[in-house]
Amino acid sequence: MVFNSYIFIAFFAIMLALHNLPISWKAKKVNLLLASYIFYAAWNPPFILLLWLSTVVDFFVGRALYTQPNIHKRRLLLVVSLIGNLGMLCFFKYGGFILENFVHLTNTLGIDYHPAKPSIILPAGISFYTFTTLCYTIDMYKKKSEPVKSLLDFSLFVTFFPHLVAGPIVRPPQLVPQFETPHKATKQQLIDGLLLLSLGLFMKVVCADTLLSGASDTVFGSGGAMGPLDAWTGVLAFSGQIFFDFAGYSTSAIGVAMCLGFILPQNFLYPYAAIGFSDFWRRWHITLSSWLRDYLYIPLGGNREGKFKTYINIMITMLIGGLWHGANWTFVAWGGLHGVYLWVEKAIRDSRAKISNVPTDGTPAPVIATASLGPDLTGKKPAGFLYALLTFLLICITWVFFRSATFGQAWTLLRSMSGQTPPAGPPLLATVDIIKVMVVIGLMLIFHWIMRNTTVLKTAGKMAWWQVSIVWSVLLIMIILSQGTSKAFIYFQF
């Protein structure tokens, strides 16, 4: 079941009605849990067993981790949790990838080995709910918070349908306390939630699927050389498509939860207004970057063990972050390129600090947000906008690897973008399609820059009710007119 479907509208209306009935809070939580399983079962019902297994094992292992006084037994329990969660993730998401690379290695060594290709179905959202449960057991091992008392509350925390399949990645302190006491949306929360849901669907259905996906699919699906204009248009289209698609889902999820009286963490903060790559990772997929900071970068040593080790930790974090997105070396290259960008940015920042005798901790933004290129560029000045534009264009280059199925395709497209290869045929995109992409991307960049230090709800709160009504009506009309072109959310495959 997806947010951009009429089935979900009916499902959500029923959930709102049930959640506002005069029944006990426990009954309402049971309704939410059952609804979350129904929501997930719409993809493939047998995979609910994985959710149950992960939930039950981590609930009891987490409690034992917190109460077990023997450090050796606690470490063993943590290993059990890590093997269970990461083992399922590796099998379903990376099993075929690992086998493929093993076969390639053996054939390179002269061993003729050709096993049957495994038929493994990737469970929707497994990367998201695996990270959700992992952070609980790791926190229990470190005794950062007390264990969840109720299996019902913990089950609902893991499977709460707004965030289940594509985030935001939530942590127990962010959501579990909200399940412990009765929650019901206020009138303002209901209005704000429906507004966010409408905005999220507009971003997905209208911007991502109707306006941008056509040019993106055409360019990335061609496989051959093309003119620089076609190549750049396709890459720009994908840069907008993936933002509107993923941020649209997160915005919808936050809105749906708010309609029920719950608050989910912010996941996007106008990332294409970022000044530098540290700032970008403070704004893009915020819950993943903070997860990588707390559960990977800092345990590796962070910036506490010297400059060289800090650089290594940055790269390891970004490479694993890239691999998290998909079982393909192109995703690893995407993460590695971001790591290189962060290296360069850190070197510039360290150099400026050395010249001005200002100490710097050298911490990268995927792990800890820092000032990017200097305080003079953080405001809404022309220089700042130009740096943000440069950051955006360099990030677009990384999207080439993210979207391409092979390195060959990525290199061909990069060469086309630079004008190094002559087009293999006539232009791929019509003039009207190019203009459409340029207008949408241009408006997106301007909007991001204007909104970089605020939020939609804060802005809507400053507007007159009739102004909000007009904007909201336009969003809904365009969603309805574009509904037939909508597709599944991109991040479902991750």
pLDDT in tens, 318-333: 999 999 988 899 999 9
CB contact burial 262-281 (16+ within 10 A = b; e otherwise): bebbebbbbbbbbbbbbbbb
Q: What is the pLDDT of residue 368?
A: 38
Q: What is the pLDDT of residue 403?
A: 93
Per residue in 72-118, pLDDT (tens digit) is 889 999 998 888 888 888 888 888 888 888 888 888 888 877 777 77
How far apart CA 230 and CA 213 sit, in angstroms, is: 14
Q: What is the pLDDT of residue 478?
A: 92
- Which parts of the chain have pLDDT scores under 50? 360-379
Q: What is the pLDDT of residue 377?
A: 47
- Asked whether the beta carbons of 261 and 458 are under 8 A apart, the reply is no
Q: What is the pLDDT of residue 323?
A: 92
Q: What is the pLDDT of residue 486?
A: 62
Query: Is 325 a residue of the active site?
Result: yes
Q: What is the pLDDT of residue 364?
A: 45
Q: What is the pLDDT of residue 362?
A: 45
How far apart CA 319 and CA 93 sit, in angstroms, is: 16
Q: What is the pLDDT of residue 101?
A: 82
Q: What is the pLDDT of residue 376?
A: 40
Among residues 163, 183, 325, 448, the one annotated as catalytic is 325
Q: What is the pLDDT of residue 380?
A: 53
